[in-house]
């Protein structure tokens, strides 16, 4: 007589984030390797981070204390602007798990921000290449439109990161209206003013913040991509678990930056701008 087959369903294995020790070990290893392989001090290592995303043409870059910042005017605006936008939404507006995009009228405004950034970039390229252009480009204008573009980046990436990261993201908008957007723009204005003032003592803070801006933007995007590919999205229930997930994105970011820097150095023999520009 045949034994009856069991009909008890097998529970699927619960997805889980990598162990804390593994996530931390990989992140620390990637960071230490980068710091060891990029020669020089803090400023040089900040330039190493910036070199992964920015060509840094000398005439398009702010100089403080006889040294160029790690990113050109447009890129420092975009990446630090995004960093300030993340900070504003998470800390100032206190929308730490907000996972909804801004309302339509705000989306229209920030789209105009990015169109202004792109238009100024085209005009700047035409001037640099010796073609007819609409107006004379300037680093202050590059900085301002770059910063506005950074607001756009942060407004779009921040809710996506939260939606991917948390098991129970908050069904609210981080930027609810013009008042919230105005708050972010005031924070951005402080950053722009500091760059334009260009006091010598700001060289190190602005260089470090530039690197942090790149790491934040790339880290946010890579966290979303890696968690999605590994099918580890929507698992964080606490701050500790969120940090563990973000460390995965940070590790991927350091590997990406290191790989780009190696290729760039092999092609140009430098991480400081491009020879002849």
- Per residue in 87-128, pLDDT (tens digit) is 999 999 999 999 999 999 999 999 999 999 999 999 999 998
Q: Where are the domains of the chain?
A: 73-268
Phi-psi region for residue 231, left (φ > 0), alpha (ψ -120 to 50) or beta? left
Helix, strand, coil tally for the chain in percent (to 5) = 65, 5, 30
Q: Which among 222, 202, 226 is positioned nearest to 214, based on CA atoms?
A: 222
CB–CB of 85/154 below 8 Å? Answer: yes
Give the pLDDT confidence of 263-272 residue by residue, as tens digits: 998 988 877 7
Question: What pLDDT, on the 0 to 100 scale, is given for residue 4?
Answer: 53
Does the CA dihedral 84-199-127-214 come out positive or negative?
A: negative
Q: Which among 71, 43, 45 is positioned nearest to 58, based on CA atoms?
A: 71
Question: What pLDDT, on the 0 to 100 scale, is given for residue 10?
Answer: 46
Give 272's DSSP letter: S
| Dihedrals phi, psi of 54, to nearest 5 degrees | -140, 135
Taking the CB of residue 6, how many other CB atoms lie within 10 A of it?
A: 7
What the block records as the tokens of 122 is 């085209």
Tell me the C-alpha distance between 258 and 182, whole Å: 37
Q: Which residues of 46-84 are buried (b: 16+ CB within 10 A; e: fewer)?
A: bbbbbbbbbbbbeebbbebeeebbbbbbbbbbbbbbbbb
Question: What pLDDT, on the 0 to 100 scale, is given for residue 240?
Answer: 93
Instruction: Cite the beta strand spans of 167-237 per DSSP E.
Output: 170-173
Which residues, given as ranges, of the chain have pLDDT below 50? 1, 10-12
Question: What pLDDT, on the 0 to 100 scale, is given for residue 14?
Answer: 54
């Amino acid at each position: 007589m045949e034994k009856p087959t069991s009909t008890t369903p097998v529970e699927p294995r619960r997805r889980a984030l990598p162990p804390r020790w593994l996530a931390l070990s990989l992140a620390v290893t990637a960071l230490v390797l980068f710091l060891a392989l990029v020669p020089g001090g803090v400023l040089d290592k900040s330039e190493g981070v910036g070199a992964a995303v920015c060509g840094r043409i000398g005439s398009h870059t702010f100089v403080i204390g006889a040294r160029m910042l790690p990113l050109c005017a447009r890129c420092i605006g975009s990446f630090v602007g995004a960093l300030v936008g993340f900070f504003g939404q998470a800390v100032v507006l206190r929308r730490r798990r907000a996972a909804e995009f801004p309302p339509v009228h705000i989306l229209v405004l920030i789209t105009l921000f990015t169109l202004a950034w792109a238009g100024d970039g085209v005009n700047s390229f035409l001037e640099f290449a010796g073609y007819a252009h609409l107006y004379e480009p300037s680093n202050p204008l590059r900085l301002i439109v770059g910063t506005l573009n950074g607001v756009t980046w942060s407004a779009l990436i921040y809710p996506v990161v939260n939606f991917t990261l948390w098991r129970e993201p908050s069904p609210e908008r981080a930027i609810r209206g013009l008042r919230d957007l105005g708050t972010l723009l005031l924070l951005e204005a402080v950053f722009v003013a500091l760059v334009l003032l260009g006091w010598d003592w700001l060289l190190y803070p602005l260089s470090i913040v530039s690197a942090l801006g790149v790491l934040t933007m790339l880290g946010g995007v890579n966290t979303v991509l890696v968690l999605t590919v590994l099918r580890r999205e929507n698992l964080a229930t606490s701050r500790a678990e969120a940090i563990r997930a973000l460390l995965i994105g940070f590790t991927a970011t350091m590997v990406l930056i290191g790989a780009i820097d190696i290729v760039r150095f092999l092609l140009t023999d430098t991480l400081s701008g491009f020879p002849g520009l």
